[in-house]
């Protein structure tokens, strides 16, 4: 979690410390990620491409999600694994390549997603492992999802055969949401929860908190809960207190 200002946390009551921990827990755990709650404005084509995998007949497809930080790659990895009824086992971190005992398991999962797959490139043993996984999954006709910051042609592989295999990937580009879209989404999210976020509050949130939309929506949930608990209107001073309390809880 990114909080951009330091606060004085020395003079807090027991009740305040308890609230701090609740705030930190709320902000640290965004709601369950699904295809339905992915904000796909500007990325509708990418979302449609992924949805074609859900419920489709078994076939080998290698889909590559490419986009910078904050474009929703991690959201879509979790969402796709849930949609394919394979969460969380099939969401593999790139570091897991070294787990030789699970190599066969990775290769034969009904659905497999490898986040930050580009981190495997440039070292022959890692690339051989990845090439083996792709070959097995192609033989068994199993869908596969990779994510990275760039498309496959943006990276150099030590193994030419791996470059050839990655050339089969359907590259799906994700664009970041503009601040204007984030503000619209957050305002609508608040309205759905029964309260209003004014423009000055929304601008303050974007300037003082992690700009990841999932984290911002978690902040909206905290604002809703704490405003009700304190019987206070939703204003910039209240949001400032919530962020201060979260940082104090984070710092212990």
pLDDT tens by residue, 163-174: 999 999 999 999
What token pair was written down for 169? 């990937």
**Full-model pTM:** 0.75
Q: What is d(CA 209, CA 249) in angstroms, rounded to the nearest whole number?
A: 15
Name the 3-class secondary structure at 24: helix
Give the CA-trace dihedral at 237, 28, 48, 97, to 10 degrees. 150
pLDDT of residue 251: 61
pLDDT band (50, 70, 90) for residue 101: low
Query: At residue 12, does pLDDT exceed 60?
Result: no
Query: What digits encode the pLDDT tens for the residues 150-166?
Result: 999 999 999 999 999 99
CB 202 within 8 A of CB 17: no
CB 119 within 8 A of CB 92: no
The full set of domains in the chain, from first to last, is: 14-30+177-250 (no CATH), 44-173 (3.40.50.300)
| Residue scoring higher pLDDT (33 or 168) | 168
Per-residue DSSP letter, 58: S
Query: At residue 7, does pLDDT exceed 80?
Result: no
Structure-token match 């979790």, residue found: 78
Query: At residue 249, does pLDDT exceed 80?
Result: no
Query: What digits encode the pLDDT tens for the residues 37-95?
Result: 888 888 998 899 999 989 888 899 999 999 998 898 988 999 999 999 877 778 877 77
Least confident stretch, 105-109, 133-137, 139-143: 105-109
Report CA 115 to chain centroid distance, whole Å.
Answer: 10
pLDDT of residue 56: 83
Structure-token match 């003079």, residue found: 11
């Amino acid at each position: 979690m990114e909080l951009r200002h330091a606060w004085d946390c020395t003079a807090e009551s027991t009740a305040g410390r308890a609230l701090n921990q609740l705030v930190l827990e709320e902000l640290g755990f965004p709601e369950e990620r699904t295809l339905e709650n992915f904000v796909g404005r500007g990325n509708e084509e990418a979302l449609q491409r992924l949805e074609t995998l859900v419920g489709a007949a078994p076939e080998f497809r290698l889909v590559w999600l490419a986009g910078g930080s904050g474009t929703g790659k991690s959201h879509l990895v979790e969402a796709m694994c849930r949609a394919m009824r394979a969460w969380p086992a099939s969401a593999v971190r790139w570091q897991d390549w070294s787990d030789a005992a699970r190599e066969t398991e990775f290769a034969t999962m009904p659905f497999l997603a490898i986040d930050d797959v580009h981190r495997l490139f440039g070292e022959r043993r890692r690339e051989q492992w990845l090439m083996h996984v792709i070959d097995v999954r192609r033989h068994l006709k199993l869908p596969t999802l990779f994510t990275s910051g760039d498309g496959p042609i943006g990276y150099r592989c030590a193994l030419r055969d791996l470059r050839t295999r990655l050339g089969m990937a359907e590259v799906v580009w994700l664009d970041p949401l503009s601040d204007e879209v984030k503000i619209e989404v957050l305002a609508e999210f608040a309205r759905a929860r029964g309260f209003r976020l004014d423009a000055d509050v929304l601008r303050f949130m974007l300037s003082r908190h992690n700009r990841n939309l999932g984290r911002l929506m978690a902040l909206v949930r905290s604002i809703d809960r704490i405003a009700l608990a304190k019987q206070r209107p939703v204003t910039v001073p209240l949001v400032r207190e919530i962020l201060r309390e979260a940082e104090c809880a984070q710092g212990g």
